[in-house]
Chain A
Amino acid sequence: MPGVMTKTTPTLLSAPRLLLALGLAALPLAACSNSTSAAPGATASASAPAQAAIIVEKPWVRSTEGSKDTSMTAAFMNLTNPGDKDISVTRAESAVAGRVEVHEMVTVDGKMVMREAKNGVVVKAGKHEHLAPGGPHIMLMQLKQPLKVGEEVTVTVHFSDGSQQVLKAPVKKFTEEQDTYHTHEASTPTPQSSSPQPSTSSQPSTSLQPSATPHDDHGPSATPHKH
């Protein structure tokens, strides 16, 4: 017989309560470091101090099915920082990608564009940060294989507190206009670089070439960035 979930009390979880929830639910997982839950969409174990570690949930990776450029895609997730110190996503790696970068969103000449987040993406103490289309994300580049809808991709995310989390992220179809996250900051200086031409859906930015110069000072994802 199906079990029945009981009501939850409607409070905005404060940090202590949140830790209580974590302690009850997540610590058993943390105890078996690097084991992963097979449940689709579930987050995997935290290998770092359980207290104040970032909570990662609902990770997913965009499928390459139907993409114009199948050499790259992005991973998205919801992050919660239950602690009292800011923590950043500093870098990530995945076996499916030759290179992985953490990207942020900035305004350039009145237009939101993406670029590599040299200092990582900050999750402020006691706050949430969503890595989502149109916002910060983890860019998976130099893909070694097409990513089919419904597959599971393992992504390891590293944080500024020294912790890391191994995520099992389902591959899903992109349901928004691709341009919303494909528009990246122009990487090749041009005469118009001070006022970049707006990208159009028919002409998405080509700045995401994995070998584009601004990224050249970064090694493959296996080599940690210095921050």
Chain B
Amino acid sequence: MTPPDPTSRRRVLGYLGAAAAGAATAGGGVAYGLGAANRGDDRAAEARRATHRAYAPHGDHQTGIVTPTPAVTEVIALDLEPATDRAALARLMRLWTGDIESMMAGQPIPGDTAPEMAQSHVSLTVTVGFGPRVFALPGLQAQRPVGLIDIPPMVHDRLDPQWNGGDLVVIVAAEDPTSVAYASRRLVRDAESFARVRWVQQGSWRGTNSDREPVTGRNLFGQVDGTGNPQPGTQEHDDTLWARAENVPAWFVGGTQLVVRRIEMNLDTWDQITRNEQERAIGRTLDTGAPLGKEREHDELDLALTGPDGKPMIPMNAHARLSHHSQLGGRRIFRRGVNYTYPRVVDGRMVPTSGLIFLSFQADIAKQFVPMQKVLDAGDQLNDWTTAIGSAVFAMAPGWKPGEWVGQKLLR
């Protein structure tokens, strides 16, 4: 199905669209379905679309985790003000929930000073999480999810405190920087009474091909990045991501844990090696992302394959081999990377800075991410060109239903 011209569904009601907005607000999820009923949309086609999406904020899990990565992502970490206790944090979460529900529906938030900026169908998602210090607040010490630990120091780390830690995280993602800037500003503004911004990381992703179909996307090394993610709808996907009742405090069921690693990439030295060397470092081809020795991106790795020289097709220190679940006792993560690149001016010259904001989601950081990272730190050939310069961990709250608010079960 050819996607309809996006301009044909643009909201012309704008700020004065109180009526449509009111209906959506009063009716909760009901109103979201009106358009489809009227238009007879092909829902399956809609679900495959990578752009012009309007995600509903409610569900068992938050959006922005397994939803397609849109062009722009901003990750904002905040620190709680000293006076922000459990009750105050609850008030912030109520405010943010109202903001998120409004903005994801393309509506201005209450008291919005730039209401015309709110637009629907910009694939906006907002995802909220709690850093370790939240679970040091009085009344919350028993609620820390098992496995939520800071990443132990790795040999290849060169951590810069400006990218580390944080008491809260909010991930804002949409199709364009303007929409992200609007949503981020409103969220940070409403948090002013409770928290200060600690760091902000901005990244981009190209998750569509030239036919506007969703694709895995590439990091700045040119590698197809994220192929190995467990596919939504599978048991391994759910097992990888979502906290289960038997393992965690009740409030966290349906939540997930996030590791944010800011990974600087040395494109200059990467460019100096041959294409063959680049492919052997990752263990996949650069053109399709297929495992070495295979044809297509999603072909399963065959780690036993050997080349004409009798050596493994996928070298022993290749990233794809070392990070494969078969080599990690079945451990998996769900990765969502976004690229960053910006020029710094150094002594009158433009010096590019490039890297990856590596968002790793998993049910248990200690059991899944840390063992994997130790293996990669010890042997991954990509370490020659990558350096972690920031690290932070968060417990991403479960989703919420209409009438509830994010983190309600933890903070009420």
The residues of A with any CB-CB pair to B shorter than 8 Å are 1-13, 18, 21-22, 24-26, 28-29, 37-43, 55-60, 62-63, 65, 76-80, 82, 128, 133, 148-152, 169-170, 172-173, 175-176
Contacts and interface: CB of A to CB of B under 8 A. Distances in A.
A151 B402 CA distance: 18
B31 A39 contact: no
Contact of A4 (B38, B53, B112, B193): B53
Interface in B1-52: 4, 8-13, 16-36, 38-39, 41, 43, 46-47, 52
B94 A40 contact: yes
Interface stretch (B57-65, B139-147, B210-218): B57-65
Which of B38, B56, B193 has the most C-beta atoms of chain A within 10 angstroms of its own C-beta? B193
B95 interface: yes
B94 A170 contact: yes
A128 B43 CA distance: 33
Interface residues of B, number: 79
Interface of B: 4, 8-13, 16-36, 38-39, 41, 43, 46-47, 52-63, 66-67, 88, 90-92, 94-95, 97-98, 101-102, 105, 107-113, 120-121, 189-190, 192-194, 232, 399, 402-405
A13 B19 contact: yes
B295 to A, nearest CB: 31
B91 A7 contact: no
A6 B403 contact: no
A5 B11 CA distance: 14
Nearest to A25: B27
Contact of B189 (A4, A28, A169, A175): A175
17 contacts: A2-B58, A2-B63, A5-B54, A6-B54, A9-B9, A9-B39, A11-B12, A24-B34, A28-B30, A43-B25, A58-B108, A58-B111, A78-B21, A149-B92, A149-B193, A150-B94, A170-B95
Contacts of A13: 13, 17, 19-20
Closest 6 CB pairs of A and B: A150-B91, A25-B27, A40-B98, A41-B98, A6-B36, A60-B110
A58 B35 contact: no
B92 A150 contact: yes
A6 B32 contact: yes
B113 A175 contact: yes
Which of B62, B97, B111 has the most C-beta atoms of chain A within 10 angstroms of its own C-beta? B111
Contact of B46 (A4, A28, A65, A80): A4
A21 B230 CA distance: 40
A6 B46 contact: yes
Contacts of B21: 57-58, 78
Contacts of B193: 63, 65, 149-150, 173
B19 A80 contact: yes
A151 B58 CA distance: 22
A3 B32 contact: yes
B110 A10 contact: no
Contacts of A62: 111
B19 A55 contact: yes
Contact of A6 (B10, B23, B28, B33): B33
Contact of A169 (B30, B52, B97, B110): B110
Contact of A2 (B27, B61, B120): B61
B41 A7 contact: yes
Given A6-B36, A25-B26, A65-B193, A41 B110 contact: yes
A53 to B, nearest CB: 11
B9 A7 contact: yes
Contacts of A10: 8-13
B90 A24 contact: no
A82 B26 CA distance: 15
B403 A37 contact: yes
Contact of B55 (A4, A11, A65): A4
A8 B94 contact: no
A8 B58 CA distance: 19
A58 B20 contact: no
Contact of B109 (A25, A28, A58): A58
Nearest to B32: A5
Contact of B94 (A55, A80, A152): A152
Which of A9, A41, A169 has the most C-beta atoms of chain B within 10 angstroms of its own C-beta? A41
B109 A3 contact: no
A24 B27 contact: yes
A63 B11 CA distance: 32
A38 B22 contact: no
A26 B23 contact: yes
Contacts of A170: 94-95, 98, 110
Given A8-B9, A41-B101, A2 B399 contact: yes
Contacts of B112: 58
A132 B42 CA distance: 40
Given A5-B55, A25-B30, A37-B403, A18 B232 contact: no
Which of B32, B60, B110, B193 has the most C-beta atoms of chain A within 10 angstroms of its own C-beta? B110
Nearest to A150: B91
A8 B20 contact: yes
Given A6-B35, A9-B39, A13-B20, 17 more contacts: A1-B66, A2-B63, A3-B59, A4-B54, A6-B41, A24-B23, A24-B27, A25-B28, A29-B27, A58-B25, A58-B112, A62-B111, A63-B193, A77-B110, A80-B18, A172-B111, A172-B190
